[in-house]
Structure 1
């Protein structure tokens, strides 16, 4: 399957919201999260598409211009290192589009953004119950830096 990855814009708010709902449902079905969604399209508009967005979105788009995957992220800052880092809030691929390298390509796009911004790392959390995600995160070279109950914190650290 052919697809492209691009930054989301304000016209993508409906798709972003739908992906958030799907990710929450996935988390609920996994049994490790309540997956409670309290955001809405207007909140997304106000917080992601303004002069100082709190988060950004990468969308994977198929050949019919339909979104099939998403990565929601934001930058953090470490006073100890004096460098930014990236927090990956959500990575979600439509079930029918999993296993074709889309997750890897979304992560590679996020790594490129992180490196362009001199970030020291990308971090995120995942459920210990999500076996396919754990295998994927190991395959892309991340490491587990913390485990709290069934929640694992992962990190990809950059050497340069």
Structure 2
């Protein structure tokens, strides 16, 4: 049986484990800078994001981390799925579908105009899964990112 529940503070070590597993799957195993304290602070102090734990037969097998954004076009907040991870042994059991259905329900419940996420262009199994779930690719859009030294330089007077 699949259960989807809100993450609790005690789930933080499991969430960080899943984040590291996701990073390894996405070919960036050394990219995770977050630690348990940072995740706990973001989820349970700042409330800047929310997380769900997916359980299969009582065992944690995945998680989703999401937050609200805002669309000036719809005039409504949206739900943005930052991370969705299901352990390899639980893939194909309906866990990912259950998580996406749950989050779609959250988006509707909160009167969100959109439910969005990103997927790596090489992850064809995920792309196929998302299409099957009714998602539309926004292929004409390209994510832009500024981090680290470039972010500091951009923020400085006289920067880029």
| Range of TM-score over shorter length | 0.7 to 0.9
Could you report, residue by residue, the CA deviation over 1:24-64 in whole angstroms, capped at 9, with x for unpaired residues? 00001xxxx576111000001111112x411111111122x
Identify the residue that residue 59 of structure 1 maps to in structure 2: 53
- The number of aligned residues is 143
TM-score (norm 1): 0.83
State how far apart, in whole Å, the 2-side matches of 1:119 and 1:89 are: 16
Cα 1:35–1:89 shift into 2, 3 Å: farther
Among 112, 133, 152, the alignment partner of 2:126 is 133
TM-score (norm 2): 0.83
Identify the residue that residue 69 of structure 2 maps to in structure 1: 76
SS at structure 2 position matched to 1:88: strand
The reply on whether 1:26 has 2:25 as its aligned counterpart is yes
Identify the residue that residue 91 of structure 2 maps to in structure 1: 98
State how far apart, in whole Å, the 2-side matches of 1:14 and 1:59 are: 12
State how far apart, in whole Å, the 2-side matches of 1:113 and 1:148 are: 25
- CA-based RMSD: 1.7
State the 4+ residue runs in structure 1 displaced beyond 4 angstroms: none
Structure 1, unpaired ranges of 5+: 152-160
SS at structure 2 position matched to 1:145: coil
Larger Cα Rg: Structure 1 or Structure 2?
A: 2
The reply on whether 1:114 has 2:107 as its aligned counterpart is yes
Residues 20, 29 of structure 2: 8 Å contact kept: no
SS at structure 2 position matched to 1:115: helix
State how far apart, in whole Å, the 1-side matches of 2:97 and 2:2 are: 13
Higher strand share: 1
SS at structure 1 position matched to 2:139: strand
